[in-house]
Chains A and B, each alone.
Chain A
């Protein structure tokens, strides 16, 4: 079963074709250089870029997969959550492909895409699991007792993890996006150099709060400067990163114990963070848990995760009508 996947929810245009769990093509047009000077994603610029990128990406994916549009058995597209104008571009393209090829249309939740991306490399046996989805737009813990059944345990009450990385990176003059830049710098620093607060680490819910940490970083630097001391940026980056990772790892592990599951699934762009991978893998091994992490290009936004999630939905007999719309705050359920 060959399914086309289209992802345009934010600042990456992703198009992929999967055949079952096998990825035949997965190509991406990144808009990072476009938004870099603004220090964040500009929605109108993102929408414009999607229109320019989609046509060549669709041709490229079809060519790389070695098939024709007529060979498609389904068309999957992200319908939310995300930027509404950006989502609508991908949805319009997907509907045209669906009508022109008679392949059924399936709208996909972007967050389900991040979770199911694990099936590409780790096989379809994912549930029951606890999923940690961390990206520029999301920080969320989800219990998946069985496939397509989601129970949101908690999420960020303010900034997403990726936003916190971006803001601290901007403060340190590291550029955009902040995640990879902070990660790189942190490798030369001591994660225990500065003890930043672990917000909500001890609360008995599964929510996260990241805006306080960002403020603590700024305040620390200010106080040190006033005291005439210099702050090592590498130590600062490592300590900031450690505070984020600490809370995420401990809450994820607690969720596996609470729900009695033996699998942790990771997804989202922030999962590319080397410290998060390292710490959660170590913690999982200590607790005898199976920790599944998609490879880098399947963690960040991509078309393959949408194609795969759509394929799973189509297999269950799910279909979306041609008038399906974008839902910028679509919930995972």
Chain B
């Protein structure tokens, strides 16, 4: 079965086609991304690989957390592909994808994505045979809070993701037990997403397209302001 993978949770557009543990092809737009290049990237990938959309048996999508507008474009494109092609879809956290890419480490894994506004999205993982298991929740943190948390725990940890890169100075301070994955792994790759998702397609643990929605982790500013006013605090 060929799986189409799409991740647009960061400033990069990543699409891949994979089958049975093999990467058929991938297209990666790195750097400044335009929000309209996801579907053209899929088209280009199909042309290059000679795969036809009719051969695609499943769609895997990174649901973030990430930068809202770009994330939504990838999620919307992916779920509509699954809907029109009438194939199953699997939505996976983009933090899981980051951690999966460094699963060969023996250290504890911290996946950290830039959340803008001086915050990061973060989740911790542990390697298990064939993959990673998440420990705890997906969270939004300030880098200094994350650094304090790392300092309090002497266990060796490998940080991966563009959030770890961006705040390297802050989160390096806790000590030598904090390491960093290479910059090349700083974004969730659709090829890793496809590999990670394959097991769920095999186990038929798939989602309905309508149920696949981005993992925002934050309310909108308007709602935050509303809640604050409701508590009687100044806006």
Contacts and interface: CB of A to CB of B under 8 A. Distances in A.
Nearest to A54: B76
A106 to B, nearest CB: 15
Interface stretch (B31-39, B154-162, B186-194, B197-205): B31-39
A88 B77 contact: no
B80 to A, nearest CB: 4
Nearest to B54: A100
B111 interface: no
B80 A92 contact: yes
B69 A58 contact: no
B40 A323 contact: yes
B75 interface: yes
Contacts of B35: 88, 325-326
Contacts of B75: 51
Interface string B68-79: 110011111111
Contacts of B216: 48
Contacts of B72: 47-48, 51, 85, 88-89, 92
A232 interface: no
Grouping DSSP codes into helix (H, G, I), strand (E, B) and loop, the B interface class, with mixed when no group exceeds half, is helix
B184 interface: no
Interface string B161-186: 00000000000000000000000000
Interface string B198-235: 00000000000110011010001111001000000000
A167 interface: no
A304 B42 CA distance: 28
Contacts of B81: 96, 99-100
B104 interface: no
B23 interface: no
Contacts of A67: none
30 contacts: A37-B226, A38-B222, A42-B220, A44-B221, A47-B69, A48-B72, A48-B214, A48-B220, A51-B75, A56-B210, A59-B210, A84-B69, A89-B72, A91-B36, A92-B39, A92-B72, A92-B73, A92-B74, A92-B76, A92-B77, A95-B39, A96-B77, A96-B78, A96-B81, A96-B84, A97-B84, A99-B53, A322-B39, A322-B40, A323-B40
Interface of A: 37-38, 42, 44-45, 47-48, 51-52, 54-56, 58-59, 69, 84-85, 88-89, 91-93, 95-101, 321-326
Interface of B: 34-40, 42-43, 53, 68-69, 72-81, 83-85, 209-210, 213-214, 216, 220-223, 226
